Amino acid sequence: MIKCDQHMHSSFSGDSHTEMIDMINAAYDKNLDIICFTDHYDPLFPSYRKDEGPIFDLDVPAYIENAKKVRNNESIQSRIKVRLGIELGIYPEIWSLGSEIINSSPFDFVILSSHTAKKLDPYFPEYWENINPVDGMTIYFEEILDNVKNFNDFDVYGHLDYCARYTETTPEVLDIYNYIEIFRAIFKNLVEKGKGIEINSGGLRSKLKNFNPSKDILRLYKECGGEIITFGSDAHNVNDIAYGIDLASELLTDVGFKYITAFKERKPEFIKIN
């Protein structure tokens, strides 16, 4: 079974209030071997929002300093491997700034995530106004393809069908055949670049009630030669750490993955799932 959770947030993210040390202790209690903090860095995001929400800027030096402090603690070192990553919210306006931050910071792991398309978060109903759900999803996936083609400083693409959490979850809208050519192109680029994807259990806790991405998308990724896959709970509090991890182990095994990937100093380690 998988014992590493490589997508979690701490109080350095605008939408989490949990201290790193509390996340680490909870992860240890849940029998995890490896965790990775991936706090949000999405500096232009607030300008896309119409309401007052959390701000997704990140104090990178303070984040690195704090992680260093907790990782130097010997009692933690003997119990669990704690790694430091980042979840970079990506869109063309951030490509050059993102590269600068990633290349000047000692991160173990970089998740690239699309939290917007058309400069809007699909979380907001206005994203879906005056557009049919299939077109709304298509635009979101096309923007992922644009990022994947043009940006290189990352390890995996996060929650690929995140937009599906916030629209009609009918079989027609979720049918991969509506988007299959875009996904083939995304996976061709990822595989050629030696990048991967994650299985994210945040969707299990949403009205979608499913992992992101879906099993069909995971299967297509495998067919396209994808081998690098990480597990992430996307926990913003102690309760959600490792959420759905056993279910993810079963699902990945069923799709044909034998290894889960963990990243250290931006290099993949392949760990047997069973």
Residues that bind Zn ion in the complex, under the rule CB under 5 A? 87, 113, 234
Q: CA 113 to CA 81: how far, in whole Å?
A: 24
**Shortest distance, CB of residue 89 to Zn ion, whole angstroms?**
7
Q: Which is nearer to Zn ion, 37 or 128 (CB)?
A: 37
**Shortest distance, CB of residue 265 to Zn ion, whole angstroms?**
21
What is the DSSP annotation of 164-228? Answer: GGGS---HHHH-GGGTHHHHHHHHHHHHHHT-EEEEEGGGGGSTT-S-BS-HHHHHHHHHTT---
Q: Which is nearer to Zn ion, 155 or 234 (CB)?
A: 234
CA distances to 84, 126, 223, 237, 249 from 264, rounded to whole Å, are 9, 39, 26, 23, 21
Q: Which is nearer to Zn ion, 210 or 254 (CB)?
A: 210
**Shortest distance, CB of residue 9 to Zn ion, whole angstroms?**
6
**Shortest distance, CB of residue 181 to Zn ion, whole angstroms?**
25
The CB density around residue 77, as the number of other CB atoms within 10 Å, is 12
Element (H, E) at 236: none
The CB density around residue 76, as the number of other CB atoms within 10 Å, is 17
Q: Which is nearer to Zn ion, 5 or 234 (CB)?
A: 234
Q: Which is nearer to Zn ion, 234 or 240 (CB)?
A: 234
Task: Return the amino acid letter for 210.
Answer: N
Phi and psi of 39, rounded to 5°? Answer: -70, 155
**Shortest distance, CB of residue 223 to Zn ion, whole angstroms?**
25
Select the residue whose beta carbon is closest to Zn ion and give its number.
Answer: 113
Which residues, at least 6 apart from 228, have a Cβ–Cβ distance to it below 8 Å? 155, 156, 194, 195, 196, 197, 261, 268
Q: Which is nearer to Zn ion, 123 or 177 (CB)?
A: 123
Element (H, E) at 84: strand 81-89
**Shortest distance, CB of residue 189 to Zn ion, whole angstroms?**
20
**Shortest distance, CB of residue 158 to Zn ion, whole angstroms?**
5
Phi and psi of 247, rounded to 5°? Answer: -65, -40
Q: Which is nearer to Zn ion, 53 or 188 (CB)?
A: 53
